Amino acid sequence: MAKVTHEFDLYGKHYVLETGELAKQTTGAVLVKCGESTVLLTAVVSKERKDYDFFPLTVDFIEKMYAVGRIPGGYLKREARPSEKATLTARMIDRPLRPSFPAGFRNEVQVVATTLVADQVNPVDTICVMAASAALTVGGVPFEGPLACVRVGRDRETGEFIVNPTYEERDNSDLDLELGGASDFISMLEAGADEISEEDMLAAMAFGQEAIAAFCEEEKKFFAKVEEVNGPIQQREYILDEPLPEVHDRIFAHYDEMEAALKDADKLSRIGKVEALKESIRAEFTEEEQAQWSRAIPVELKALEKHAMRLMVVETGERVDGRTPTEVRPLMVKPDYLPRVHGSGLFQRGQTQVLSVCTLGMLNEWQRLDTIEPVDGKRYIHHYNFPPFCTGETGRMGSPKRREIGHGNLAERALLPVIPSEDEFPYTIRVVSEVMESNGSSSMASTCGSTLALMDAGVPLKRPVSGVAMGLIQEAGKTVVLTDIQGLEDFLGDMDFKVTGTTKGITAMQMDNKATGLTPDILRSALMQAHEGRMFILDTMLDAIPAPRESTKDCAPQIISLQIPTDKIREVIGSGGKVIRGIQEDTGATIDIQEDGTVFIAGVNGAGDAAAERIKAIVKVPEVGEEYTGRVVGIQPFGAFVELLPGKDGLLHISRVAQGRVDKVEDVLNIGDEVKVRVLEVDEKGKISLDRIDKPEAPAGSGNGGRHHDGEDRRPREHRAPRRRPGDKGEGAGNGGRQPRRHHDA
């Protein structure tokens, strides 16, 4: 294939699609650029069909650190496991692609996005969907394209929508909406928002749909150029798993039995009944038939279950657990569920149960990120765990899977707009959501449970957040929107639409849509129905904990912030860190000093207060007139050194240690004595002169005519005899009292 390039401008940004030069042994490969950000998208389809009853699609997004001119961190200095952002981007590419392949496609497909340049101005994620769509199309894969993905932002000041905003534009946006799909429907949606209204969100989605259509048109122009240069794109032939009428009819004859088996509110009981029915239906086929139709039989059994569930909803308005379409499952809300942790909350909705735990830490415990994006890290961290026991199954426990990372990110985006700033709440905040039981909407349960945990921990949220998952059934020409979907309705339904927000507006959304007939009216209905559902849930949560606790718990670190002069930082740290280590060891507090002189101190049971007082004492500069009770730390013939504050000594002159004449300081003071003093003077070098308060009388016999053992007269100057220099002959001596110089002959 000869090289083909298509350049175009849309919504104020420049794009390039290119094929025919790189990775020519793939099924299809396209290079995409936005600004200078460059990603190579490759697609490879296996030659043989796999013996699976599902579509084997794999999408990988590879962050290359050379794309930003950086060497990877760590010992190996090589890109290792994908970052959270890379995993989320791979999911973003996967979700619009997957439903666009024909039903029954069983050849393995792998799409790989390799970042070559990340210009730190234009994000590389959304443009990958367009390039993946183009790579599959030029590779002749049977695929319902073209597809595209756009990010929609909204300028906080002007309210104007922005397509694929730069990082700088995103910082000034109150909306971060990613939409993926074709020119006439949306199949994937992710959003984070600063409490915007449903009407504004619908307007942004409509605007995003228009932008997707514009990018799809540019893809068509690119394909036309490819065919003009290289000839028509040859469609490859792949064998699809087609329904077999003889299998379909025999299995669908058991429709009434399947409908009866599905009507059970208990998930495990229902699954048991359905599986038992499927086994009995399978047993009706002979061994030869089961071997002949080994793939068709399980596919048709799944189709029967799907059809029975969907038809029940649209014809009777009743769901498998007996609820109406708008009904929320029974709720259980328990804040402060665990002792000793900083904050916790148990949230249960039906058979979905999540325990969220909040932990507070120092700001220097924020998560550092090593990615190709221009972000250093984050101080609010949300983790979501979905162990196999939560569905009554066995499985491998280990690093989080893509689904767990995606659900954790959704809950994090849901709560991030209401997290207080560092100035308001100088903590790093980590929330972990443990799914204890799952039957759908566990990410929304984790959002609700995490709100409870944060409020229980005393985090001053701007407003509490709740969330609900919406579903859609389109069957027999009818459409029903479902509130609070369970697992079966997610798996066999047409849409999984999660919405989170406060009483003020939406904070996050996520949608996966299999239905091409998702009209604006259906979306509006789903959003409004979601608003009612999440407000109902929020009211139940607020009954249990009306507001964040006024203070953090005793077991949580109390963080105190101080501001010290930058020239005092060295004194607080000490040589080799000796001083600051000593404070931490003595008090048990943790201390973090910033370059601008901001000091954060964390400790429990008053440890922070004790450490703060130590630091204040170190940086304190005594002022004239201040009084102290100090300890004598040194004695010299001319006076005593008194420690006023840690590291701050002043000189108490011998003439001021007592009333009357004192021959030796030791006659009045000894090392270790406490003495009350007043600051008389602080010179330009910081030397401090002291006077003793409530001076005692000098001991009898201490004085010696005012003359001390070092030969210095301690009497007031007016009572002293005139001083003579060496060689003086007395008053009136020649040469001003000086002896004449002696001259020595050579």
- The CATH H-level (homologous superfamily) assignment of domain 558-619 is K Homology domain, type 1 (3.30.1370.10)
Residue with tokens 């909406």: 177
Q: Which of 386, 390, 416 is nearest to 403 (CA)?
A: 386
Q: Are 467 and 448 in contact (CB under 8 A)?
A: yes
Mean pLDDT value of segment 484-513: 94
Q: For residue 99, give Cα distances in angstroms to 106, 240, 433.
A: 13, 15, 30
Mean pLDDT of the region 298-315? 92
Spatial distance between the Cα atoms of 408 and 401, rounded to a whole number of angstroms: 11
The alpha carbon of residue 9 and the mean position of all alpha carbons in its chain are separated, in whole angstroms, by 33
**95: Cα separation from own chain's centroid:** 22
pLDDT mean over 629-655: 91
Q: Give yes or no for residue 619 having a pLDDT over 60.
A: yes
Question: pLDDT digits over 558-597, tens only?
Answer: 888 889 989 889 889 988 999 999 999 999 889 999 889 9
Beta bridge partners of 601: 560, 591
Q: Structure tokens of 172? A: 């000034």
* pLDDT at site 16: 98
Contact 630, 688 (CB under 8 A): no
Q: How confident is the model at residue 731 (pLDDT cuts 50, 70, 90)?
A: very low
Per the annotation, binding residues for Mg(2+) are 490, 496
The span from the CA of 257 to the CA of 728, in Å, is 131
* Separate counts of helices (H) and strands (E) for the chain: 16, 29
The closest alpha carbon to 167, from 15, 376, 10, 375, belongs to 375
- Phi, psi of 534, deg, nearest 5: -75, -25
Average pLDDT of the segment spanning 513-528: 86
Cα separation of 458 and 556, whole Å? 10
Q: What is the pLDDT of residue 571?
A: 85
CA distance 361 to 652: 45
Binding site listing: 490, 496
Q: 3-state DSSP call for residue 6?
A: strand
- In the sheet with 558-563, reading across from the earlier edge strand, the strands are 558-563, 598-603, 590-593
Q: Is the pLDDT of residue 261 over 90?
A: yes
* Res 249: pLDDT: 94
Residue 121 has pLDDT above 90, yes or no: yes
pLDDT band at residue 732 using 50, 70 and 90 as cut-offs: very low
Q: Tell me the mean pLDDT in the region 370-399.
A: 92
CA–CA separation, 323 vs 349, rounded Å? 13
114 bridge partner residues? 40, 62
- Give CA separation, 620 vs 70, 558, 644, 646, in Å: 44, 23, 10, 9
**Distance between start and end Cα atoms, the chain:** 107
Q: What is the pLDDT of residue 520?
A: 84
- Cβ–Cβ < 8 Å for 319, 493: no
Same fold, 4-230 and 331-544: yes
> What pLDDT shows up at residue 721?
43
Residue type, 641: F
CB-based burial label for 90 (10 Å; 0-12, 13-18, 19+): buried
Q: Torsion angle, CA of 233/97/216/196, rounded to 10 degrees? A: 180
Q: Which residue type occupies 294? A: S
CATH class of 4-230: alpha beta
What is the distance between the alpha carbons of residues 602 and 133, in angstroms, rounded to a whole number? 52
Give every CB contact of residue 31 below 8 A, 6+ residues apart in sequence.
Answer: 16, 17, 18, 19, 21, 22, 38, 39, 40, 41, 116, 131
Asked if 419 and 356 count as a contact pair (C-beta separation under 8 A), the reply is no
What distance in Å separates the CA atoms of residue 180 and residue 509, rounded to the nearest whole number?
Answer: 14
Q: What is the mean pLDDT of the chain?
A: 90
What architecture is the 331-544 domain classified under in CATH?
2-Layer Sandwich (3.30)
The answer on pLDDT for 255 being more than 80 is yes
Of 60-69, 86-95, 474-483, 724-733, give the lowest mean pLDDT range.
724-733
CATH 2.40.50.140 is the classification of domain 627-712: yes
Longest dimension (CA), the chain: 143
pLDDT of 703? 63
- Give the DSSP per-residue string, 221-232: HHHHHHHHHH-S
The residue among 96 and 75 whose pLDDT is bigger is 96
Residue 162, pLDDT score: 97
| pLDDT band of 534, cuts 50, 70, 90 | very high
Domain ranges of the chain: 4-230, 246-316, 331-544, 558-619, 627-712
Residue 728 predicted with pLDDT over 60? no
- The DSSP code sequence of 438-462 is -SS-HHHHHHHHHHHHHHHTT---S
Structure token digits, residue 193: 């928002």
CA-closest candidate to residue 523, choices 191, 201, 746: 201
Could you tell me which residues come within 8 angstroms of residue 54 by beta carbon, excluding any fewer than 6 positions away? none
Query: Does the pLDDT at position 442 exceed 80?
Result: yes
pLDDT recorded at residue 623: 87
**Confidence band, pLDDT 50/70/90 cuts, at residue 618:** confident
Tokens encoding 147: 């597809």
pLDDT at 744 over 60: no
pLDDT of residue 62: 94
Degrees (nearest 5) of the Cα angle 174, 176, 178? 155
Tens-digit pLDDT profile for residues 665-685: 999 999 999 999 999 999 888
Q: How far apart are CA 508 and CA 718, in angstroms?
A: 85
Q: Write b or e for each residue in 131-150: b if 16 or more Cβ atoms lie within 10 A of its Cβ, otherwise e.
A: bbbbbbbbbbbbbebbbbbb
User: Above pLDDT 70, what percent of the chain?
Assistant: 94
Is 725's pLDDT higher than 50?
no
Q: Which two tokens stand for residue 158?
A: 């002007």
Q: How far is CA 601 from CA 117, 589, 596, in A?
A: 41, 7, 15
